[in-house]
Structure 1
Amino acid sequence: MKFLSARTLSFSMIFSIATLLAASLLFLAPSASTSDADTLPPFTPADVPPAPDYAEASSWLDLPENPDQFGVDIIWLYPTVLVDNSAWLMDITRKDLIAGAAESVATEARIFSGQANLYAPLYRQMNLAGFNLPEEQRDAIVAYGEDDAKRAMAYYMEHYNKGRPFILAAHSQGSYVLTQLLVDYWGKLGIEDQLIAGYVVGWSVTHQDLKDNPAITICEEARQTGCFVSYNSVAPGRQEASPLILPGAIVVNPLTWTREETLAPASRNRGSTFFNQDHTYQILPEFASAQIADGGLAVVAKDPARLNSPYFPQGVYHGYDYPLFYENIMSNAAQRIQTYLDARK
């Protein structure tokens, strides 16, 4: 698998990824606990749960009640929710894991749900502990989730899409899987001209990825379509503390929607959105600035303590990649949708 072999991450960095992602309370089922590769038995094919059947509604985390409500679709790949010591691969019938994944729909994907028909496939994602395995073993496990995402996309295009333009969006392990699919298949599917934009947030799209597949285009301005956005949020100077920022990472600033390295002041931030456990939320305009630096998105927040977590390295804001720029992303999705539709009138 080109994606993993092209990225030379140390095992200590990989373990840090597991620690980082496992702790994101925003997306975990209440009973979840951090897993470790040493506490799980060796992975065998007998441990593989049944593959999702995307002809069944139960294989989708979310399907639109009225698929014709909007003239645009969004496909959402949720972040990591399998973090306990129960299995190497997510069983998509487990109610606690479904509930954890649903949190991302109620919070992150909510950015897009008011302007597009939401499709969110369940997939057999890898346990976070898998990131700490040797590459060959890791590849063998993560391949199941990647194959699921590929089949879900194919089923969606054949049975649900009906020629509509679409947005691709993901976070964390969802973006990891999406990046692999882009590197391997983008430009070969025949659906590329239907893409409004892709938000591949919380993972790195790198210059090596673009070299491996020149069909992938990174967004350069706010109304550009057919392109992809990627960034990882950190406090200034904390880029090396984030193992999600890979060598050669390409960053788009969500306050300017360009790759310019000039500081975008907090005055350009329409609102950071923070969710409570009951899904109520608070919008804080001008909460944070953003600047591209050293492969990361350096963020200065008015109240950085609000972004701290005992589970995250100080200054690594991975769990807040979407919330920090919530209103700007929502507005940008609307801009790109309108641009796309206007060009095809």
Structure 2
Amino acid sequence: MCATHKAFFSYVWRKFLNMYRFSVISSFLALSCFLSLASYELPDHSNGEPTTDYSINEYWLSLFSGFSKDVDVFYVYPTSWYKLDPAEPDFCAIDHPTMLSRSKVVFDIQATAFETVGNLYAPYYRQADAAYTLSLPADKRWAVVDSIPAKDVIAAFDYYIKHYNKGKPYILVGHSQGAQVLMLLLKNYMPEHTGTYARMVCAYVIGYPVTAEFMSSNKHLKFAESAEDTGVIVSYNTQSPSVAPGANIVLGDEIGLVINPINWKRDETPATAEESLGSYMPIDAQGNPALIPHFADARINMAKGVIECSSVNETDMFNLSGKMGPEVYHSFDIPFYYYNLRENAQVRVNRFLAK
């Protein structure tokens, strides 16, 4: 970008951040209030709790209508609600107004990357508070997400398969808490529904680490090795090269498997911003997003298990992301590589349909 464009973008982005206070990151403001919870026994969050009734249209963020494509996309949004008061429940209601409004904003900058590829379906689901969840050790994090959030999303997916999918191939997309929920769906639902699993083109499980241990304990799952393989998991987490090991609160000490979302390699071969098809970022003070070409580069750091992006201006762009650790680009895992993800989804669909 030219200097004028960069200056304007910096101004617009600051205005956007003040207006939006992006969903996942905002919750980390309260993180210190909950750190002591990690040593306590977890309450049984899901005992006797019924799942959401997904026959009710109002419990869907997106129900496709219109000219049907050959493929569906099932999208699970990231954390879009957080506790303002420690006395609040650890999970939001299915109709919580904050979650309803913020999930729509996130949908517009994430799920729409796949709207040219397939018919978009996205359920609302009851979310766990991110600050509470991330204050816990990894095993207890999983227990929290595997209660109400995963129950809802798996129920929604099962309803979608039985009532909307009509035997079509489909893509899974999830970010952050949505990615973790999809990992549980892949782990627990797919082995019992092999016919459904066979129709999965790809699962974009972005913004939460998919570890080698997770893959080895779930032998039915495969991680992507190229731009064209199907029935696989695509995953990565984005940060600056300056982030120290363990400083990314989303990852903690976990080392995720990674594929580069620009060149689709599994090694440390760098992909320049010039190779990128473009990012989908806000271009005005209202936060309306549009294509920004050649914005984000990508290079795998194998030791950290992350994508490192060095082409963006850390100071201008990530005052907000400092709340979860300096130069952690978690909120932009999808927007940075929006158009490469769109192209890749189409490549994988074409390969799947050609079988």
Instruction: State the TM-score, normalizing by the size of structure 1.
Output: 0.83
Cα 1:187/1:51, change in 2 over 3 Å:
closer
Tell me whether 1:259 sits opposite 2:256 in the alignment. no
Q: Aligned ranges for residues 146-165 of structure 1 at < 5 Å?
A: 146-165=150-169
Helix, strand or coil at the partner of 1:292: strand
Partner of 2:118: 116
1:159 CA drift (Å): 0.7
Tell me whether 1:37 sits opposite 2:34 in the alignment. yes
Partner of 1:325: 337
Helix, strand or coil at the partner of 1:169: strand
Pick from 217, 220, 223 the counterpart of residue 222 of structure 2: 217
Question: How many pairs are equivalent?
Answer: 319
- In 1, Cα distance between the equivalents of 2:215 and 2:26? 38
User: Is contact 2:224–2:232 with CA below 8 Å preserved after alignment?
Assistant: yes
- In 1, Cα distance between the equivalents of 2:46 and 2:205? 32
* Paired amino acid for 2:23: F
1:60 CA drift (Å): 1.2
Cα 1:333/1:277, change in 2 over 3 Å:
farther
Helix, strand or coil at the partner of 2:354: helix
- In 2, Cα distance between the equivalents of 1:199 and 1:71? 18
Q: Aligned ranges for residues 121-270 of structure 1 at < 5 Å?
A: 121-128=123-130, 129-133=132-136, 141-142=144-145, 143-190=147-194, 191-238=196-243, 240=245, 241-245=247-251, 246-270=253-277
1:307 CA drift (Å): 3.1
Question: Unaligned 5+ residue runs, structure 1?
Answer: 1-23
Bigger mean CA deviation after superposition, 102-111 or 162-171 = 102-111
* Paired amino acid for 1:162: K
Question: Unaligned 5+ residue runs, structure 2?
Answer: 1-19
User: Is contact 1:272–1:287 with CA below 8 Å preserved after alignment?
Assistant: yes
Q: Deviations over 1:223-264 (max 9, x none)?
A: 211111100111114152213335341001001112121111
Higher relative contact order (CA 8 A, sep 6+): 2
Q: Deviations over 1:191-247 (max 9, x none)?
A: 122111111110000000111101111111112111111001111141522133353
1:151 CA drift (Å): 1.1
Q: Deviations over 1:94-133 (max 9, x none)?
A: 2221111111111111101232111111111111213324
1:328 CA drift (Å): 0.8
Cα 1:121/1:244, change in 2 over 3 Å:
same
- In 2, Cα distance between the equivalents of 1:254 and 1:93? 34
Cα 1:208/1:117, change in 2 over 3 Å:
same
User: Is contact 1:121–1:149 with CA below 8 Å preserved after alignment?
Assistant: yes
User: Is contact 2:154–2:189 with CA below 8 Å preserved after alignment?
Assistant: no
User: Is contact 1:106–1:279 with CA below 8 Å preserved after alignment?
Assistant: no
1:329 CA drift (Å): 0.8
Instruction: State the TM-score, normalizing by the size of structure 2.
Output: 0.81
Partner of 2:307: 297
* Paired amino acid for 2:289: Y
Cα 1:323/1:138, change in 2 over 3 Å:
closer
Q: Deviations over 1:159-209 (max 9, x none)?
A: 110011100001111111111222334343221221111111100000001
Cα 1:103/1:299, change in 2 over 3 Å:
same
Partner of 2:71: 72
Q: Please provide the CA RMSD for this pair.
A: 3.0
- In 2, Cα distance between the equivalents of 1:101 and 1:60? 11
* Paired amino acid for 2:222: T
* Paired amino acid for 2:97: K
Cα 1:171/1:156, change in 2 over 3 Å:
same
- In 2, Cα distance between the equivalents of 1:59 and 1:278? 27
